[in-house]
Structure 1
Amino acid sequence: ISSLSANNPAKLEHAVRAHWAIENNLHWVLDIAFDEDSNRTRKGHSATNLATIRHIALNLINKEKISKVGVKIKRLKAGWDNDYLLRVIGVI
């Protein structure tokens, strides 16, 4: 479903591939760093709320450029070190 013309399949292919590349990369990072696929919250809006919190956490972690490690290590480090957590959140 798109407003793109079917007369230009190369443009349509590029748009579809670009969309799925973003979707797959984001999902992969959330699954590896936050183990999102193992989340079994089902009641009310809890799954949506936790996904939103994970997205916010991922964005904050990606903004922190001092530590040159991966997202999963940064997340774990923020859990272990309060000073680093404050740096990730942007307080320091």
Structure 2
Amino acid sequence: MTSMATEKADSKTLLELVRGHWTIETSLHWVRDVTFDKDRSQIRTGSAPRVFASIRNLAISLLRLHGFKNIASGLRKLSWNAELALAMIGV
């Protein structure tokens, strides 16, 4: 279902919209859910859930900006190299 006008909702346009949605799902939400195991998080009170979501997003963004394609691999590499992790945030 879509609110697009019939003349604009051709098969090519709809396919691009669906693929665009799944690109976001696989590149960000999947990383949050699987790599950070977000669904099992027990952080539920006050502003803590939002704060931790922001921290996760920051970590993902920093890794991607520094050329890491695989976030889990990047996190492992940084866990072994504190100097690199600090350098990424400018410390």
TM-score w.r.t. the length of structure 1 is 0.72
Q: Which runs of 5+ in 2 are unaligned?
A: none
The aligned length equals: 89
How many angstroms does 1:57 deviate by?
0.5
SS, match of residue 20 in structure 2: helix
Instruction: Find the counterpart in structure 1 of residue 76 from structure 2.
Output: 76
> Does 2:48 match 1:39?
no
Inter-partner Cα distance in structure 2 for 1:44 and 1:2: 36
The one-letter amino acid paired with 2:35 is: A
Q: Is the 8 A contact 1:78 1:88 kept in 2?
A: no
Q: Which runs of 5+ in 1 are unaligned?
A: none
Inter-partner Cα distance in structure 1 for 2:66 and 2:50: 25
Percent identity between matched residues is 30
Instruction: Find the counterpart in structure 2 of residue 29 from structure 1.
Output: 31
| Cα deviations by residue, 1:12-64 (Å, 9 ceiling, x for unpaired) | 44323312331233111222322222212110121111111100110001112
Inter-partner Cα distance in structure 2 for 1:12 and 1:70: 29
